[in-house]
Chain A
Amino acid sequence: MSIAANIAGEGGSTFSSDAPGSLEPVLRAQGLSKQYGPVTVLSDVTLDVLPGEIHAIIGENGAGKSTLMRLLSGYVEPSHGTLSMSGHTVKFAKPSQAQDAGIALVHQEILLAEGLTVTDNLFLGRELSRGHVVDDRTMRRLAAEKLAQIGCAVSPRALVRDVSLADRQMVQIARALLDDHKVVIFDEPTAVLTGGEVERLLEIVLQLKAHGTAVLYISHRLDEVQRVADKVTVLRDGKMVCTYPGRTLSQLDMARLMVGRELAALYPEKTVAPSDVPMLSVSNATVPGYVEDVSFTVHKGEILGFAGMVGAGRTELFEGIIGLRPATATVELKGKSVHFQSQRAAIDAGVGYLTEDRKGKGLLLQEHLAPNLTLSALGVFHPGLSMGRRREAEALEQAVETYDIRLKSLGAKAGQLSGGNQQKLLLAKVLLTDPSVVIIDEPTRGIDIANKAQIYAFIQELVAKGKACIVISSEMQELIGICDRILVMREGRITGEVSGAEMTESNVAVLATSGPKPGPKAKGGTEWLS
């Protein structure tokens, strides 16, 4: 079965392991299907997972990956098909049964009780006790051991609320690994991680493998898949396309198999060269606790990238500049000195900010699309006493058209859209205020490759229209693909700049992780800006 044939969608070939018969699959799914009413979300998936094997599941959003994982871990019962573990047929009516059988799922979303400590969360629902008294000391000791084992430095006594997003993910992983499991399923584990943390996670995965545990690994990041996967199963539109041995596929092959057709270039051609007209100049920006003395300038027609690890202070820097958190900075917009007291002032002056937290800070998921679209532009959009509903409806139709937002009806709610379409709606919302400087924080987090390509094209269009664009991203490839210039931040300071041929992953990674730590007196690189 050739890759080309699979791309054409003939589907259903299963690659058998290198040494057939050598190992009994610890988990086997046969003809697994799931229907919700008339809608089939997953059909006829057959899968063998061997002990000590890293089995990656890839596919676009909506391909059925999460459904498959939920079937395997007992959150959902299959409509057809069977599961067996080590040769015995099993049926899971609820997640705890799958857990007892030795299958652990690390969720994509972080599901921790924020008001409890790390230890409390690790043992939530399975607290250790002596008699009727909860045995805190033993639990803390075990928690500390488990956290140390996966290289997570948080204190077992810390409240989850006070712990960074990346560490929360680690806590969640520690929770899943607390007991020994036969199969561990990771659902998009690296979506909120960057650089070093991804490495740590991949090490954990390899550790599990060395232990003889089977790992099912779902990820959007094909580079990770290529590095660690022994087998890759591709899902497309709820069907299994094929299973290949991991290292035989290039990333491009995987992308083709996922999309089912030849991929155009993911990143758009640069149509305009950046000018040297400064649009937004920031000097000596300091956000207490996060950012110290950062200066930079973005020019008309330029896409400026901000790279760095989670916690490097990139989001905080821009939230500080636009008045969302306390900060001091000298800001010039188009040559005029400005100071944004609030996000409102920044929007009115023409600086738009697209948050990295689409669901928590970007959109009202329970609301219809039109109110979401115009929420930042209420003043512009509804100049009179009462609201201009017709103008609003027109704006929505236009946004749906322009940004190719796929929806069932204009009466849909934001939460009903897929991640990619939500992101496009959010972009439309920010651009509705007609900003001249657009700051986009994590433009493509957790969205599929087709939507990514569209968003890159939209960003390119923005600068072609003479706006300036700042892109904050934890995906280095994305920054390298679309940016004219990349600034790298580490521990709240700018550690360097790369542009042109110097924009390589290794250069950026060095600056983001191990570059010379800037001394307290060093100016965060103002010299090379002027």
Chain B
Amino acid sequence: MSDTHSNTVSYVRDSMLPQQEPPLKDRGAVKWLRENLFSGWLNTVLTLLSILTVWFIIIEIGPWLMNTVWNAGSLRECREILDGTSGACFAVIKDRWHQLMFGFYPPEYYWRPVLAFVLMLVAVAPILFAELPRKMLYFSALFPFVGYHLLWGGSIWLPVAVLLGFVAGYIAFRLLDRMSSLISTLGAVAATLAWWFLLAGPFNAAMTSVLPIGLEFVRSDAFGGFLVSVVIGVSGIALSLPLGILLALGRRSEMIFVKSVCVVFIEFIRGVPLITLLFTASLLLNYFLPPGTSFDLILRVIIMVTLFATAYMAEVIRGGLAALPKGQYEAADALGLDYWKAQRLIIMPQALKISIPGIVNTFIGLFKDTTLVVFIGLLDPIGLSNAIRADTNWNGIYWELFIFIGALFFIFCFSMSRYSQYLERKLKTDHR
């Protein structure tokens, strides 16, 4: 075949023709438009609809946003400046910026929440980014006490006394470690509780009278705005982490009784709305505590939010535990490690690492849910927006406040969700 063919051909091209430009509809912007926007009638319709939507939004909101008044003492003043034209009065944000951020926190101490926030970022960094030196984790462990003291103030010896409780527990754990891990765990818990309930009070009183140092005390009811959201959200997550680990272990436990109690707790908390738990905090918690006990609302809310977050955290960590290959458990058994040692040295470090995206997502959810505290009278950003609108100066303002609150929440939550997506990609080792 090829022979005949070669004989019949009289002309063979020895040089290639220069490559031609693709036709107009297949190159440059036109090609991109054709492929990405107008590839079929359905896509064309969708594209046109989308452009219309965007155009509509820009036309409706654009002029209003562009014509913003930033300097005015009241809505009336702002409207006078606008002089009948449509425009936003973001002056309210400027006027009430500190209130929206800190609530009624004493202005001379604004540096304290700011410093606490910065230190919190430092404390969280080594947990979130594995590249940072591990030594920083010591600061992370210390931060709850530092943060508490910065925000609330009072005698420095109270957080120190509480911290010493953990130290006492650790010492007891070390001393008893040889006997059995069960005994050492029980001993550590007993030592900690004994210190807190018996010795911490006198220690605190004695040290305070001897060496009264510490920051000025700030009451919880001075807290407001985003400070409340962050404090409740962060403490809820931080406290729920250890409890959530215990619950997750309990739910996977083979001890039928422990397991069923954990399941009932988790399902109960996950089955009722957070708002009922918050109302329990504000209406009922005092019924459950000894007569005459009363502590402030923020603390009660933190307790209930912690319980709430614990149930969700337990499920996240259970997912992390389930994702570990069975070989890890078997390897730990083969090494002769007992349950707690295996958990501490082999299982948890891996399971927690897998769970971090889930934990961050739980945190995002919890942080958004802190807005519900407005229903029980705490002045979170939404609560403050009500208070600001009740003021005669800003009576009738609406959109600006909600746009601001929404934007701040968006910045917080969006950056956290980006982080968790980054982490998911990093942790994902399977190739698809």
To the question of whether A and B form a pair in one complex, the answer is no
Q: Which residues of A contact B (CB under 8 A)?
A: none
